[in-house]
Structure 1
């Protein structure tokens, strides 16, 4: 067991723009670098704090954008420069995971890799650690990609869903299908069927097997990279990324690899999970008042107001009357008041329109 643990690595994905939590998440400082809930630690720091309990610090890598390197160094001062993988341009998760797989495989050819987003809540860390241990053990001994799923508690259209197939071993099943952000009626059907689990975006694989998948399904990313690589220094590798990363496809690891591979499995997790990437998911995940409002680290006076989520800057007071089912969020020079029900799509729309009509200073 000890020898296997020496082969376990993790990459934390922390390069996203976080636009679905605008205006609190902004281009210069996205959600993963914000102490959003007033806990004293940002989402990135909380994710790192969790992973460092089960893996050595030197086995944890941070994938981010060049714009955020200083934020990563400020918030995780113990991370060495060669463990911060900074991309020159925003791409989706497939190129990010490919680069992490490449670097870690050259450090440890027998590495097992845990990939995790930086914007999730885990309520039961003991159960999470146990699931990760089971996951590492499985991918060490099996050719396959292992996702972590959690049983849905509501018909959430903002999440991805995994349909369970045949059982492979205890609590691990073949994946029958993936569905990304279904309509609410389909989400209700998924919940009632009992066959579908939420896709947490956390997955594990042996780097050797993951590389085979990239070679097969997205050869434009890793194959050129590996062919060019000899005994580069980290600086030379980073320079190669700066020159070539913009040419890589803008595609998610789910769509580019997981949905195409025949050997994909899901582990049924039970660790109290929530995606903290949207206003609606935050509302659903957090404890509510008697009037079903969620007030996030803010000073408010509410009168005849229900089902709202409210996030204000320090030093501001809001007096709210008559609102039902809204987001009220303010940060710097932007105040957003938006229907909560449709917020996931509306916030993206508003960010794009604001950027076009008003400029980058509001984004």
Structure 2
């Protein structure tokens, strides 16, 4: 049977101070007056029923997710005992789904993507389901680049494996490139953006984990044996907390020989940075703005306002964010460095409370 797993435990640090520890970006209502999490769930209802929608998060966000998604049963919200990166939380979820259904096929989706054209999205995902089952492979969805983007990883397409759908073997994964490399990849034309959306059978994912992350696999199998027993909760905490976490890209996808990529034909954006979010703002005299703003003799600025009037006069290439108790003014070229800034703020008692 088909299941959807939504990854909703992230902090959204690169959108600080809009995204905060108590209210990270998956819960923000910025586009279309719906949270990113709500939009993700609404989008997948054309694929599965509510009973087959699962969310993995941490304990801190459990109540918020229950409130945001009242139609999803609490048992369908998997809680990580601690943050151990995506390979681990997907592995825990795969073990739980495999316990329910030996034939479980998982669609794994981040909770914070923007997607247009749900018909084509559904078509692409179902193609992924077909390949995942026929080839017993790990399928990722790739996006045709439209610019020399340095904020995404890339996938090199290998041989085509199906004449009826744009599906290819993965030749290799590339980490986020610098500007010159990104331009070269765009010109070559055989590279796709790595969207972070996946399709695979739960048993296949766990078998690949056994090959490449054997210590993690062993602990997850101990958890698997405890599921639906009185010791389940204690075993999960004990085993999970001792796992050395790693991302699914580094831990499995960059190592497996069973990776396939489907080139999608829908509009996609990863709303992970202010540069990405700026693409959805209104244009005011050459600036991207949200909220109560006035811009004069200013260019290429992104302004995220609320109730207070923000006036830009004679400024250029800035990001300005009014989050109420915190105001951020930043060079646009520092967009990818906010995580470092947040870590610096955490180290000071005076500023830690604002994270």
TM-score range, shorter chain: over 0.9
Equivalent residues of 2:219, 2:243 under 8 A apart: no
Residue 252 of structure 1 corresponds to 247
What's the CA shift for 1:288? 5.2
Residue 190 of structure 2 corresponds to 195
Cα displacement string for residues 313-336 of structure 1 (whole angstroms, at most 9, x for unaligned residues): 3x2211111221111112132111
Residue 36 of structure 1 corresponds to 30
Aligned mates of 1:348, 1:211 — CA distance in 2: 31
Cα displacement string for residues 105-138 of structure 1 (whole angstroms, at most 9, x for unaligned residues): 1111101111010110001111111101111111
SS in 1 for 2:128: helix
Aligned mates of 2:181, 2:249 — CA distance in 1: 20
Distance 1:158 1:234, change over 3 A: farther
Residue 354 of structure 1 corresponds to 345
SS in 2 for 1:36: strand
C-alpha RMSD over aligned residues: 1.6
After alignment, is 235-244 or 69-78 more displaced? 235-244
TM-score by length of 1: 0.93
Distance 1:235 1:293, change over 3 A: farther
Equivalent residues of 2:212, 2:252 under 8 A apart: yes
Equivalent residues of 1:291, 1:307 under 8 A apart: no
- Choose the corresponding residue for 1:62, options 55, 59, 80: 55
Aligned mates of 1:242, 1:36 — CA distance in 2: 35
Aligned mates of 2:288, 2:237 — CA distance in 1: 42
Equivalent residues of 2:222, 2:239 under 8 A apart: no
Equivalent residues of 1:158, 1:281 under 8 A apart: no
Distance 1:214 1:69, change over 3 A: same
Equivalent residues of 2:226, 2:235 under 8 A apart: no
Aligned mates of 2:298, 2:236 — CA distance in 1: 50
SS in 2 for 1:68: helix
Equivalent residues of 1:280, 1:341 under 8 A apart: no
SS in 1 for 2:127: helix
Residue 334 of structure 1 corresponds to 326
- Choose the corresponding residue for 2:154, options 152, 161, 177: 161
SS in 2 for 1:177: strand
Residue 137 of structure 2 corresponds to 144
Aligned mates of 1:190, 1:286 — CA distance in 2: 25
After alignment, is 82-91 or 232-241 more displaced? 232-241
Residue 291 of structure 1 corresponds to 285
Equivalent residues of 1:82, 1:234 under 8 A apart: no
Aligned mates of 1:234, 1:71 — CA distance in 2: 27
Cα displacement string for residues 143-188 of structure 1 (whole angstroms, at most 9, x for unaligned residues): 2111000100010100111011111113001111111211011000
Give the gaps of 5 or more residues in structure 2. Answer: none
**How do 1:239-318 residues align onto structure 2 when only pairs under 5 Å count?**
239-283=234-278, 285-286=279-280, 289=283, 291-296=285-290, 298-313=291-306, 315-318=307-310
**How do 1:214-233 residues align onto structure 2 when only pairs under 5 Å count?**
214-230=209-225, 232-233=227-228
Aligned mates of 1:176, 1:156 — CA distance in 2: 20
Say how many residue pairs are matched: 352
Distance 1:269 1:154, change over 3 A: same
Cα displacement string for residues 269-307 of structure 1 (whole angstroms, at most 9, x for unaligned residues): 011000001112222x326526332223x1101111221
SS in 2 for 1:289: strand
What's the CA shift for 1:9? 0.7
Distance 1:71 1:148, change over 3 A: same
